[in-house]
Amino acid sequence: MVTDTDYMERALLVARRGCGRTAPNPLVGAVVVTPEGVVVGSAHHERSGEPHAEALALAAAGERARGSTLYCTLEPCCHHGRTGPCVDRIVAAGVARVVAAIEDPDPRVRGGGVRYLEAHDVDVSVGVRSAEARKLNRGFFTAMTERRPFIILKAATSLDGRMAAAPGRRTKLTSPPADRVAQMTRAEVDAIAVGSGTVLIDDPLLTAREVYRARPLVRAICDRRLRTPPSARVVATLENGPVVVLTTAAQLDSDRAARLTERGVHVRAFDGDDLVSGFRALREFEVNSLLLEGGAALQTAAWDADVVDAVHLYIAPVVLGSEGVPFLDGRQFTVADLENVEAFSCGPDTVIQGDVHRSH
């Protein structure tokens, strides 16, 4: 017998088709099922500003939606944005029952969609596959509740926990198979962030390569002293997405800021000289998820600020020795600090991915 859980699994699979495309909106999938158990419509939200998944699925179902059950991975919206409220379309279509995986954390909704539907005699259930739905949209949930992006700390280390052979020395650790996994992550997140030291030492492009990416990729540089040169290679890649330099308010009127702005770089100030506020400033650029790639000082500061939500660790089978730069500046870190851990091999390297365990 097919259950609500089975139909919600289908909706979650459909929702994933929008991965990397929908920010600042969430990933949402919807499935319309007749009383006889026939799927007559399914759709996913494709990108911000375009129709929501529920509206698309109901349009596909047409008259067959009357008396049906609508399965959706997020509570249907009830506010007027760039598209009309989904709840109005659900009621107009004659849907008898709505099964939502999880409540929408957007303060414009937050249970309002459920209340509206129930007030219009639609039976509503919330909570089917809620854990999977939350994980699917962890960037959106973090943006709504913390007003900052979901932050993934990505680092490559040696077997002895070193990120570089010596301070200021560019050290290549990972193999091509591991590099491809890292590029796949770049294809899915909304932004990459590095420190100015990484720009000065490595001069990276910070682009998604050898993978398909649907949206422009935001590249953020945390640079309190505004050391980023206009000649940096990343500045020449604006066709791949905006480059944002986060600095202090005192630097905004400087000649260096003017030269970067002339090259098309967005220069923004930390609010109160605070790292977290810098990440929050990226919401202006529709960033729900952020890959924190380097360098060591920036990653350590983010870890100490308790804003790292997940860790992707690439461990190469080499030993760099005591002169090397330690991961997180030598702070105690073990896999026990993570939950939902996945570990796998990529060529000679080992990749460990997990969510940061928090007691609060």
Instruction: Show which residues are catalytic.
Output: 54
Task: Give the separation between CA 28 and CA 256, rounded to whole angstroms.
Answer: 42
- Contact criterion met (CB below 8 Å) for 245 and 228: yes
Task: Give the separation between CA 100 and CA 201, rounded to whole angstroms.
Answer: 48
- Contact criterion met (CB below 8 Å) for 130 and 99: no
Task: Give the separation between CA 290 and CA 17, rounded to whole angstroms.
Answer: 20
CA torsion through residues 86, 88, 93, 94, sign: positive
Residue 311's identity, in one-letter code, is V
Tokens of 178: 């591991």
- Contact criterion met (CB below 8 Å) for 30 and 14: yes
**β strands within the chain, DSSP E:** 29-33, 39-44, 69-72, 97-100, 123-126, 150-157, 162-164, 191-195, 218-222, 243-247, 266-269, 289-294, 310-315, 325-326, 338-346, 349-356
Tokens of 222: 């945390």
